[in-house]
Structure 1
């Protein structure tokens, strides 16, 4: 790793050790397909640190500090890893390790599904946006699946106008393909009969968990609080505070990157330095 002053978003040696084998294997596969076979000079760890910096701080790519590799190079790696499913693969591998660390089996049997509508920035194409009439938000809608520990198992991003039912069916397909062991999921009342029936066809029992109408104001809802907490964790990454991405697939990749960031810390028992307690 090159010598420079570290940023709070940088990977520690222990966290890099969890990611490095996948990225090194990816690079070797690309080298094997190149006529010259000459390795690139850029350090993969520095590229990933730069991606984490963008994800955590919310800056535009061209505003990357100059002690990182050039922003064009970093984006080229990011786009390749996005399109080739490397971020999703890392999310999957690390989720299994985090579950085992918590004394669970690597493959979950139950999950929770929820959606979140977010506003978009001015650069996002109108064709990929929509209006969530219920929440009165113009933008995109994120759908995520977590296990009972709050670990993200699957994610998708659509126009905000798409119904929770349609997103739920998409997520059920995705999570059942990735985790065939899933047989139970909990959802909120936005998911209707179509999602429940689709889950039944996949062998997944979809249970709707309603709020207690007799309790006024905020209160913890059984099972659903886990996925809502995970959505809150995502919002700590400023690139996800609203949707800045031109492509929905980029938005989905940013969710996976935030999950990778959290999972590596969870596995290595590390935390992100904050201003609290420093005065």
Structure 2
């Protein structure tokens, strides 16, 4: 076990006790990617009362266990403090920046270009709790789900590039006209995008080509297919949705703001990538 020694605080230090807590290797990877505390900036300010590692551990705990903010265990900083970091870092795009740097590290380690040239997009409808207001929720008639829809783009390894959360009644073809420009804005090198049959539209294909210089390739089901078949490219993004929903906070949507739903998705992906980057390779058994 490690002990997280905070800066002077009445809470003292906390012992690693939850599966979601960062390991020393993970924290060494994450700490340089976080913004500098205000007290270290030119304007100065009061030192932060709670150590950043305790804040990150608390955010990962909420994401992994799906608890209410007010139910945060007492060995973490106060829930108001943790939620304050959550909202500030969400507004300033910190989680997206950390996610992108980790993805680049994984791609580089795999011998790939850090910036992808192809992507896969898909959507997932999830039920919404009563905390989700009517303006940002809807009914997906195809899936028969009242809630929200997550639209994501991943690289060919299934690593998240962008995420957009909308009401569940927004059609995939309409959402693609929002998702693809967002993808193009942050990944200019992406020139080929795969999607499933729900995105079938000649107008969308032509728009993507003429406006964004992206080849939009719809991977359709095999003719006569009646049982489950793994289709090229599409399975990658479907696996990513499986990774995302391993975090209980993402099984259902509880957030008042769609942006906060996207943040929890990013946190779950950040956790997955830090674990992958710091995982020790098993030694080959000798006979």
What TM-score does the superposition give when structure 1 sets the normalisation length? 0.92
1:198 maps to 2:191:
no
Structure 1 alignment gaps of length 5 or more = 272-279
Query: How far apart, in 2, do the equivalents of 1:213 and 1:137 lie?
Result: 28
Any residues of structure 2 matched to 1:40-55 within 5 Å, and which?
A: 40-55=48-63
Any residues of structure 2 matched to 1:1-279 within 5 Å, and which?
A: 1=4, 2-23=13-34, 25-28=35-38, 31-33=41-43, 37-191=45-199, 192-200=201-209, 201-269=211-279
Query: How far apart, in 1, do the equivalents of 2:167 and 2:40 lie?
Result: 34
Query: How far apart, in 2, do the equivalents of 1:181 and 1:29 lie?
Result: 37
Secondary structure of 1:8's counterpart equals: coil
| Alpha-carbon distance, 1:29 to partner | 7.4
Q: Structure 1 158/213 Cα, relative in aligned 2: closer, same or farther at 3 Å?
A: same
Deviations 1:227-272 (A, max 9, x none): 000001111000000101010000011111111011111212269x
- Maintained 8 Å contact 1:165/1:194: no
Q: Say which one has the larger Rg.
A: 2
Deviations 1:149-193 (A, max 9, x none): 110111010001111112112111111111111010100111123
Q: Structure 1 175/138 Cα, relative in aligned 2: closer, same or farther at 3 Å?
A: same
Q: CA RMSD in A?
A: 1.6
Query: How far apart, in 2, do the equivalents of 1:147 and 1:265 lie?
Result: 19
Q: How many residues align?
A: 268
- Maintained 8 Å contact 1:113/1:144: yes
Mean Cα displacement is larger for which, 196-205 or 229-238?
196-205
Q: Structure 1 257/29 Cα, relative in aligned 2: closer, same or farther at 3 Å?
A: farther
Secondary structure of 2:62's counterpart equals: helix
Query: How far apart, in 1, do the equivalents of 2:68 and 2:89 lie?
Result: 18
Query: How far apart, in 1, do the equivalents of 2:163 and 2:122 lie?
Result: 10
